Amino acid sequence: MKPKMRTAVIFGGSAMVASLVTLFEADATPPDAAHIGTVVFIVIGLGVVLAVKNMIVQIGLARVLANRASIIMLFDLVVTALSS
């Protein structure tokens, strides 16, 4: 699978799972009509940022040796856990 297609599939799958998860949210109330533009802007902005980030990671990992890429991805989990 081409890197661009892989990025689109990962992003699309994440968007579908996130949409399904929101159906089970206990306090899910739709935004007011006055704030719908802001909500749409935030959602689209986050989607673009995540898609670009994912594309950069996929392109970068395609240019690194497999053993180094696995260490980088595993170290990412450690950094994420420590930063949260």
Q: Give pLDDT tens digits for 8-66.
A: 888 788 888 888 887 787 776 777 788 888 888 998 999 899 888 888 888 888 899 98
Q: Mind listing the pLDDT tens digit for each residue in 50-83?
A: 888 888 888 888 899 989 988 888 888 888 888 8
- Residue ranges of domains in the chain: 3-25+33-83
pTM confidence score:
0.55
Distances (CA, A) of 41 to 33, 38, 68, 73: 14, 5, 37, 30
